[in-house]
């Protein structure tokens, strides 16, 4: 099965959506400090698959989700024909960070936080019961604590709630590089427990002074992330419903980001023969 392939579209961006290579779009609302705008986000463009990716639900932060936020997200999904809704497997910061990747703190990897997080996800899923809900892991930046591994925490969430997994391969690579674990072993451990998967792909780079890997929507997708994409296709091809590239059109040469989405499709069509 070839997944739907397209771009994560932010309200302020103008990524070209009429490229014949793409047949999907993800509406990305990545500013939790900005009120939701209910309305049409994708103009008159039509896609085989549309998803709504939110940064509004503190799934691992305790406290009930705001009913007003849930209602607005549901209405945005309805007005844009979004089949799925996703949010982050983390806790919203009380003092937001400086970039989209810093809005969320990772969950403490403990059984009590796991139970609380699963309860939150089940509440959200019940509210969005006519649309599948996906969770996306966040960057740890060396801040993880608790007795569980990240892989075990994610597996338990997927098993207990039955939610989908929005697997950000660039974040996975960053966490693996920065925390010293094997990203391919992580995939092999978690993928069997996910029955439906969406993927995020974006660029990144190693910081020259610290050696830490940083995700960036304005850098090319590195070879390590392409390798993770190929491994995911080989292990979970039939489970992957959509692949979204997170791109900053102003930060990349147009040939680069158009070439990347073409490569995403070529590899999906020929996962065993693809080379990176």
Instruction: Concatenate the DSSP letters of all residues of 195-208 into one string.
Output: SSEEEEE-EEEE-T
How many helices and strands, by DSSP H and E, does the chain display? 7, 12
Say how far apart CA 189 and CA 179 lie, in whole Å. Answer: 17
Cα distance between residue 183 and residue 161, in whole Å: 24
Residue 226: which of 201, 253, 261 has the closest Cα?
A: 201
Pairing of strands 84-88, 132-136: parallel
**Chain centroid to CA 260:** 17
- Residue 40 Cα distances to 5, 75, 81, angstroms: 21, 10, 9
Note whether 118 and 154 are within 8 A (CB). Answer: no
Phi then psi for 162, rounded to 5 degrees? 75, 15
Question: Is residue 143 pLDDT above 70, yes or no?
Answer: no
pLDDT of 144-185, one tens digit each? 677 899 999 999 999 999 999 999 999 999 999 988 899 999
pTM (2 d.p.):
0.92
Predicted pLDDT at 99: 56
How do beta strands 240-246 and 213-216 pair?
unpaired
The answer on pLDDT for 16 being more than 70 is no
Model pLDDT, residue 12: 61
Q: For residue 42, give the nearest of 68, 79, 86 by alpha carbon.
A: 79
User: For 48-59, what is each residue's pLDDT tens digit?
Assistant: 999 999 999 999
Q: Are 193 and 226 in contact (CB under 8 A)?
A: no
- The residues near 77 (Cβ < 8 Å, ≥ 6 apart) are 52, 85, 128, 131
Q: What pLDDT is recorded for position 276?
A: 45
Nearest C-alpha neighbor of 196 from the set 161, 224, 231: 161
Which positions ≥6 away from 130 have C-beta within 8 Å? none
Mean pLDDT over each residue of the chain, to the nearest integer: 88
Residue with tokens 């639900």: 57
Give percent of the chain with pLDDT exceeding 90. 57
List, in sequence order, every residue forming a beta bridge with 9; answer none if it has no partner: 27
Residues near 44 by Cβ (< 8 Å), separated by ≥ 6?
A: none
Residues 186-199 as b/e (b if ≥16 CB within 10 A, e otherwise) read: bbebbbeebebbbb
Question: Could you give the CA distance from residue 105 to residue 167 in angstroms, rounded to a whole number?
Answer: 17
216: DSSP letter: E
Render pLDDT for 185-240 as a digit per residue (tens, 0 to 9).
Answer: 999 999 999 999 999 999 998 888 888 888 888 888 999 999 999 999 999 989 99
């Amino acid at each position: 099965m070839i997944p739907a392939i397209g771009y994560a579209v932010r309200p302020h961006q103008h990524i070209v959506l009429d490229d014949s290579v793409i047949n999907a779009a993800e509406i990305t609302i990545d500013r939790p400090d900005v009120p939701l705008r209910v309305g049409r986000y994708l103009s008159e463009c039509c896609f085989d698959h549309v998803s709504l990716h939110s940064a509004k639900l503190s799934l691992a932060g305790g406290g009930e989700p705001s009913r007003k936020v849930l209602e607005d997200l549901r209405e945005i999904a309805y007005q844009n024909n979004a089949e799925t809704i996703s949010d982050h497997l983390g806790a919203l910061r009380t003092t937001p960070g400086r970039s989209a990747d810093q809005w969320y703190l990772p969950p403490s990897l403990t059984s009590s936080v796991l139970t609380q997080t699963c309860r939150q996800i089940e509440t959200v899923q019940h509210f969005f019961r006519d649309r599948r809900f996906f969770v996306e892991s966040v960057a740890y930046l060396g801040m993880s604590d608790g007795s569980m591994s990240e892989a075990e925490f994610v597996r338990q969430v997927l098993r207990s709630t039955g939610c989908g997994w929005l697997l950000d391969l660039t974040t996975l690579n960053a966490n693996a590089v920065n925390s010293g674990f094997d990203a391919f072993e992580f995939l092999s451990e978690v993928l069997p427990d996910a029955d439906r998967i969406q993927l995020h792909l974006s660029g990144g780079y190693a910081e020259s002074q610290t050696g830490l890997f940083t995700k960036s929507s304005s850098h090319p997708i590195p070879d390590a992330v392409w390798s993770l994409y190929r491994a995911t296709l080989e292990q979970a091809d039939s489970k992957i419903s959509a692949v979204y590239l997170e791109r900053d059109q102003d930060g990349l040469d147009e040939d680069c980001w158009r070439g990347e989405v073409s490569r995403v499709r070529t590899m999906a069509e020929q996962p065993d023969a693809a080379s990176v």
